[in-house]
Amino acid sequence: MTVDDDADLQVVMRHYLEAEGYQILSAHSGAELLSKLESTAPDIILLDLILPDNDGLSLLGQIRSKCSAAVIVVSGKDETADRIVGLEMGADDYLTKPFEMRELSARIKAVLRRTGGGDAPANDKAAAGNLAKAPRLLFGGWVLDRRQYQLFDSEGKPADLTSGEFRLLEALVSAPHRVLSREQLFELTRGGSDFDSYDRAIDIQIARIRKKLQDDPKNPELIKTVRGVGYMFTHDAKASE
């Protein structure tokens, strides 16, 4: 996917890369790019940092939260500082205009070689990214609302979670189908490193959450105990506004 407001360059790049066998999608603005990322998962993105509607670097961050495509920044600015910041922000390579098509091609190949391009990332990863940030998470008839720091049932009635309980449930729901150890849960919800492996505090909080959600530990619909390891949220969760 090429993202550049210079239409001539886009045409040239498209022709050259298509002749090499690549399948090209184009976008002319950051908004168009982000919109296309909702429905497609490119292996690699060629990104111009100077776009009409977006600061390219913050766009880089947004791309990163939506997909794990490799990113080659294509820029008219040849300052070392820009190159460094771009790479530090997550770009996989940096190419300065004007450049030869053959160099672009070689860099694309080098990057894809290393990412095993074609492993279009993951709905999984993208989904996880969304879950980590969305204002609301929906699951099994419940709405976990980060803004209100509370969980609501299907009729909007609050489950009356304490802040500690909310944080613990949030951590689990944000990583559905993934076992989290008690230590991980401790650090996710409280930070610091005072976890003692004989500590039962997480277990107690889990029990309290289960009681409020009417989830039976023996036939769990939401929170499953993985004996000797920790707990896992078993239900699918959806991000929502």
Partner DNA sequence: ATAATTTGTTTCGTTTTTGTAACAAAGCGC
Partner DNA sequence: GCGCTTTGTTACAAAAACGAAACAAATTAT
Residues 9 and 99 sit within 8 Å (Cβ to Cβ): no
Long-range pairs for 16-19: beta carbons < 8 A, 24 or more residues apart? 16/101, 16/104, 16/105, 17/104, 17/105, 17/108
Q: Which H/E stretch holds residue 164?
A: helix 163-174
How far is Cα of residue 211 from the mean position of the Cα atoms in its chain? Answer: 31
Where does this chain touch its own copies (CB under 8 A) — which range of 32-40, 43-51, 182-190, 226-234? 226-234
Binding site partner of 204, from its own copies, DNA, none, Cβ cut-off 5-8 A by kind:
DNA
Binding mask 132-161 for DNA (x = CB under 7 A): ----------------------------x-
* Residue number with CB closer to DNA (199 or 236): 199
The residue from 107, 170, 230, 237 that contacts DNA (CB under 7 A) is: 230
The distance of closest approach from Cβ of residue 18 to DNA in the complex, given in angstroms and rounded to an integer, is 39
- Quickly list DSSP for 26-50: EESSHHHHHHHTTT---SEEEEESB
The Cα–Cα gap between 201 and 215 comes to 19
CB of 57 vs DNA, minimal distance in Å: 38
The token pair at 140 is 């099994």
Radius of gyration of the chain (CA): 22
- State the minimum distance, in angstroms, from the CB of residue 22 to DNA: 37
Binding footprint of DNA on the chain (CB under 7 A)? 160, 162-165, 199-201, 203-208, 210-211, 216-218, 225-230
Binding footprint of its own copies on the chain (CB under 8 A)? 70, 80, 83-84, 87-88, 91-93, 99-100, 102-103, 106-107, 109-111, 113-115, 119, 122, 124, 147-150, 162-164, 177-179, 226-229, 232, 241
